[in-house]
């Protein structure tokens, strides 16, 4: 169903006063609307690079477009070719999944998959040949910048591809520092090694110079065929890795264990800190990118980030990028856990998993107070509400899965029409509430995944994956078997209109947010947002129930006259401090008052 307000929304947005500065470099992070894509699953602009320059079957090249766990052929030329599409959606910045050269295939026999997602890096200095070249990435960045669109890179510091092996075992369990100290080989009863090493708490060059043997827990080695596969060359030495076996994702193993077998870098090591600063500072220098999303941020020790983050911000500033946006992936729905990383690790922002969970719950039929609780905890972030405005918010992503999937799971008997309405409501919450809205590619085309991870990484170009192509998409009779770049899809149109509405009104990008109403039941959720310069109030209300909602919402007593930005708004307050609204099932409205006196 195409909402009747969509075109009115767009017209209002295009005639409003822009909130953004004249040049893209001047825009602060909260002014952006992000569009996140995995290059392999977005568009195939050059079939010649589908196999990454390799010859052989899929276990060599990683290419199998019919398998959800292998490369499909999408690349940087595909991104370049679709900048018109991304801009039409209203995105002002593109978050590009990792593009670094990866180990093409890894995994136990019979369970292999490919590095199409980009998180199994071997060479941190060049683009994976499956995606193109460094020159082609520069072309994407330059072309985006000419349009005023920023480009964020997805980077990995925690680990590399699985190259290092252990002589004692294959799938090795974690061995702690207490049972396997750095000072003994293979346990507390082993031979003395690494004399004078004071432990990983002393991050000095002098201390780590005394760590010369990595066989305190296991005996690590690099297979001959991969001895020099990592770039820069220092990454090939096991001494720069923890080598303690697989993480249990609890206790010390959370930052020192191998992430499902991936080689876990010893980020306490002074050489690793300097090396990573040089690697990623180099990408800023050469390409002039605008931000970093940092993968697996919670699995790296805080001292590393305390050095790395300021170094990247300084590097960007020196390159003429004053608003470089850094945010870490901390996959936890609890605000306290997220906020800790802004205080202890000094992250300027983190991905807002708490917002994600709350919107999924509320749009799926749970009480609207779940959103209110998230916003009430904004004070916990370092910098408080100002920092909360810079948290990238999302309702779907490549790891967590898609909003449509979870809303459908929460309502098994839901009709496709109602599912579309609820998903549109979730996207409206994303684009109208505080934070930096992040749209995951495919959401605007009505993708409904089977689950998370590989199941939520569908192709936007014509797919050959059967489990993708049998899904019923929202707002269309098409499937993912045909290219999904339809600008007439009702979700595309609504997101595009809301994105332009947002970026045209400072209250919706930078405005302070006050919760006006929430309940432990489905129904009304309302907030006011205030223009940071004029103080003018904008009231945003959502109805999460299947019934018409009619009632009054508290507003400022000075907010007396209103104009409609979306939905339907009365011309005047019903009384000083009270606005009467009527919201259809799963509807929303945006009402702007005049400037505060």
Q: Of 477, 502, 527, which residue is a domain's last?
A: 502
| 562 Cβ neighbours under 8 A, 6+ residues apart | 539, 569, 570, 571, 572, 573, 579, 591, 592, 593
Q: Is the CB of residue 261 less than 8 Å from the CB of residue 306? A: no
Provide the number of structural domains found in the chain: 2
> CA Rg, the chain, in Å?
25
Q: Of 475, 502, 529, which residue is a domain's last?
A: 502
Do 311 and 418 sit in the same domain of this protein? Answer: yes
pLDDT in tens, 118-164: 999 999 999 999 999 999 999 999 999 999 999 999 999 999 999 99
pLDDT in tens, 446-495: 999 999 999 999 999 999 999 999 999 999 999 999 999 999 999 999 99
pLDDT at 3: 52
pLDDT at 594: 85
Do 47 and 146 sit in the same domain of this protein? Answer: yes
* Cα maximum dimension of the chain: 82
3-state secondary structure of 263: coil
Q: Is the CB of residue 427 less than 8 Å from the CB of residue 473? A: no
Do 154 and 32 sit in the same domain of this protein? Answer: yes
- Is residue 171 part of the annotated active site? The answer reads no
C-alpha closest to that of 316 among 344, 340, 348? 348
Do 491 and 532 sit in the same domain of this protein? Answer: no
3-state secondary structure of 63: strand
Burial-class residue 233 by CB neighbours within 10 Å (0-12, 13-18, 19+): exposed
Is the backbone peptide bond immediately before 464 cis, with ω within 30 degrees of 0? no
CA distances from residue 384 to 27, 332, 348, 548 in whole angstroms, order as listed: 20, 19, 11, 36
| Domain extent for 397 | 27-162+270-502
Do 436 and 554 sit in the same domain of this protein? Answer: no
**Positions in the chain short of pLDDT 70:** 1-22, 595-597
Residue 312 located in a structural domain: yes
Residue 554 located in a structural domain: yes
Residue 18 located in a structural domain: no
How many C-beta atoms lie closer than 10 Å to residue 22's C-beta? 9
d(CA 71, CA 157): 23
Residue 224 located in a structural domain: no
Residue 181 located in a structural domain: no
- Is residue 75 part of the annotated active site? The answer reads no
Q: What tokens does 281 get?
A: 């500072």
Do 446 and 361 sit in the same domain of this protein? Answer: yes
Q: Is the CB of residue 8 less than 8 Å from the CB of residue 39? A: no
d(CA 349, CA 338): 9
Q: Is the CB of residue 281 less than 8 Å from the CB of residue 313? A: no
pLDDT in tens, 13-53: 444 434 444 699 999 999 999 999 999 999 999 999 999 99
Do 462 and 534 sit in the same domain of this protein? Answer: no
pLDDT at 22: 64
C-alpha closest to that of 356 among 297, 412, 385, 397? 397
Q: What tokens does 330 get?
A: 């901390």
pLDDT at 595: 62
Burial-class residue 597 by CB neighbours within 10 Å (0-12, 13-18, 19+): exposed
Q: Of 452, 482, 502, which residue is a domain's last?
A: 502
d(CA 587, CA 577): 23
The CATH number assigned to the domain holding 582 equals 2.60.40.1180
Do 516 and 452 sit in the same domain of this protein? Answer: no
pLDDT at 170: 86
Do 488 and 573 sit in the same domain of this protein? Answer: no
Do 489 and 581 sit in the same domain of this protein? Answer: no
Active-site residue (options: 32, 154, 268, 329):
329
Residue 377 located in a structural domain: yes
The CATH number assigned to the domain holding 378 equals 3.20.20.80
Burial-class residue 548 by CB neighbours within 10 Å (0-12, 13-18, 19+): exposed
Active-site residue (options: 290, 295, 345, 361):
295
Do 373 and 299 sit in the same domain of this protein? Answer: yes
Residue 53 located in a structural domain: yes
Residue 567 located in a structural domain: yes
Whole-model pTM: value is 0.95
Do 464 and 566 sit in the same domain of this protein? Answer: no
């Amino acid at each position: 169903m195409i909402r009747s307000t969509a075109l009115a929304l767009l017209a209002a947005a295009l005639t409003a006063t822009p909130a953004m500065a004249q040049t893209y470099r001047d825009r602060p992070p909260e002014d952006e609307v992000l569009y996140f894509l995995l290059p392999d699953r977005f568009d195939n602009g050059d079939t010649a690079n589908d196999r990454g320059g390799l010859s052989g079957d899929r276990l060599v090249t990683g290419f199998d477009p019919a398998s959800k766990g292998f490369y499909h052929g999408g690349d940087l030329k595909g991104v370049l070719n679709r900048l018109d599409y991304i801009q039409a959606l209203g995105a002002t910045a593109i978050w590009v999944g990792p593009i670094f050269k990866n180990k093409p295939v890894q995994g136990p026999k019979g369970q292999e998959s490919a590095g199409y997602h980009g998180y199994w890096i071997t060479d941190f200095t060049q683009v994976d040949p499956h995606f193109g070249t460094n020159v082609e990435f520069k072309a994407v960045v330059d072309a985006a910048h000419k349009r005023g669109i920023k480009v964020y890179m997805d980077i990995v510091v925690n680990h590399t591809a699985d190259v290092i092996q252990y002589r004692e075992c294959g799938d090795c369990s974690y061995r702690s520092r207490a049972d396997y100290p750095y000072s003994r080989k293979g346990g507390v009863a082993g031979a003395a090694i690494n004399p004078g090493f004071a432990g990983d708490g002393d991050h000095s060059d002098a201390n780590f110079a005394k760590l010369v043997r990595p066989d305190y827990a296991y005996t690590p080695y690099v297979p001959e065929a991969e001895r020099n596969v990592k770039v820069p060359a220092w990454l090939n030495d096991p001494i720069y890795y923890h080598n303690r076996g697989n993480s249990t994702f609890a206790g010390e193993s959370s930052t020192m264990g191998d992430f499902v077998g991936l080689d876990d870098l010893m980020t306490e090591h002074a050489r690793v800190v300097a090396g990573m600063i040089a690697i990623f500072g180099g990408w800023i220098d050469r390409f002039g990118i605008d931000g970093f999303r940092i993968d697996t941020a919670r699995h790296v020790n805080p001292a590393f980030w305390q050095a790395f983050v300021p170094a990247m911000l300084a590097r960007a500033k020196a390159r003429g990028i004053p608003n470089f946006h850094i945010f870490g992936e901390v996959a936890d729905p609890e605000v306290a856990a997220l906020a800790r990383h802004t205080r202890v690790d000094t992250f300027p922002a983190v991905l807002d998993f708490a917002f994600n969970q709350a919107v999924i719950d509320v749009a799926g039929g749970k009480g609207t107070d779940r959103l209110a609780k998230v916003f009430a905890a904004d004070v916990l972030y370092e910098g408080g509400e100002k920092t909360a405005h810079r948290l990238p918010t999302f309702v779907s992503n490549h790891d967590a899965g898609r909003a449509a999937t979870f809303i459908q799971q929460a309502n098994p008997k839901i009709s496709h029409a109602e599912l579309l309405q609820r998903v549109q409501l979730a996207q409206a919450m994303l684009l109208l509430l505080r934070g930096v809205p992040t749209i995951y590619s495919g959401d605007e085309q009505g993708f409904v995944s089977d689950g998370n991870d590989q199941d939520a990484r569908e192709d936007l170009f014509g797919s050959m994956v059967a489990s993708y192509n049998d899904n019923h998409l929202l707002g269309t009779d098409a499937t993912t078997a045909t290219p999904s770049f339809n600008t007439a899809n009702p979700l595309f149109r609504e997101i595009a209109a809301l994105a332009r509405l947002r970026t045209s009104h400072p209250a919706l990008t930078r405005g302070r947010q006050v919760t006006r109403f929430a309940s432990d039941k489905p129904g009304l959720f309302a907030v006011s947002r205030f223009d940071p310069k004029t103080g003018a109030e904008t009231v945003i209300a959502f109805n999460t129930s299947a019934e018409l909602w009619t009632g009054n919402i508290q507003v400022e007593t000075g907010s007396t006259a209103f104009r409609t930005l979306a939905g339907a708004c009365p011309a005047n307050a019903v009384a000083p401090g009270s606005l009467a609204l009527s919201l259809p099932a799963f509807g929303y409205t945006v009402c702007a008052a005049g400037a505060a006196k």
